[in-house]
Amino acid sequence: MSDLLTGFRTILSGDYPQLLLSGLGLTLAVSLCALLVSVVVGTVLGVVRVFRVPVLGLVGNGYVEVVRGIPLIVLLSVVYYGLPALGVTLDGFPAAVLALGLYSAAYTSEIVRGGLTSVPSGQTEAARSLGLSRVQALRFVVLPQAWRVALPALGNEFVSLILGSSLASAVTLQELFAQGKNITSVTYRQFEVYAVLAVVYFLLTFTLTRVVRALERRQSRGQVLPDRRVI
């Protein structure tokens, strides 16, 4: 027991906490950037799939099926190690953002699709009767309501991105998990280091989960009136 306490004191002293903090900052940065990629790509995929845009709808369905059937570590390896064979070389951070974002986009597409299908068709018809085009009705009427429904699920997807970012160490990104491995290579305190990492990841995801649940409660309180209101 005293040896464990000594190990934890070692990990939480000197330069090691600073290394973990820098890794945590990089974890949050790559996760946020990947979320932006996921939201943009996932929204486009969700729209073309719901409205069955010719060709693009089929491409979107194929993309979602293929990506959801590939492990994230494989997609990270393809982007970082495979693209240079095609003349595209990315550093660790952009490679991790691109791979995580494209992987998450397949799941975000399902979230957006569910949000879009939850909007009553009468909303689109009312918008068209007021003179809006299909694109304008989608942009100003349907998508805002779909985003309100999808927001809590997107929060959960962000939590998944943070956990998935631990695999970015495979592409040399010095995020939180990679920094933990660096510390173990110096201190040989595997249990203590990974226990600290587990606590940090738990506190981070626990806080985000509470925020997501607060959003869900807020949405449920205001769900009736907005859904009954026509433009």
Taken as a whole, the chain contains a residue count of: 231
- C-alpha count within 13 angstroms, C-beta hemisphere, residue 222: 9
Output the six-digit token pair for 219: 């949405």
Predicted TM-score (pTM) of this structure: 0.86
Residue type, 193: V
3-class SS at 12? coil
Q: Which residue in 55, 145, 63, 163 sits closest to 105, CA to CA?
A: 63
> 10-residue block means of pLDDT along the chain (231 residues)?
78 87 95 95 92 87 93 95 92 95 95 88 80 83 85 88 93 93 91 93 92 79 46 32
Q: Does domain 28-228 have CATH number 3.30.43.10?
A: no
> Taking each helix axis from N to C terminus, what angle separates 16-50 and 190-221, rounded to the nearest 10 degrees?
40
For position 223, what pLDDT does the model report? 54
The pLDDT value recorded for residue 142 is: 86
- 211, burial (CB in 10 Å: exposed 0-12, middle 13-18, buried 19+): middle
Q: How confident is the model at residue 229, as a pLDDT?
A: 38
Distance CA 35, CA 32 (A): 5
Residue 42 is predicted with a pLDDT of 94
The residues, any chain, with a CB within 8 Å of residue 35's CB and separated by 6 or more, are 101, 104, 154, 157, 158, 161
Report the pLDDT value the prediction gives residue 211, as an integer from 0 to 100.
87
Residue closest to 29 by CA, chosen among 156, 152, 154, 161: 161
Note the Cα 114 to chain centre separation in Å: 17
Per domain, the residue ranges of the chain are 28-228
Query: Residue for token digits 């009468």?
Result: 122
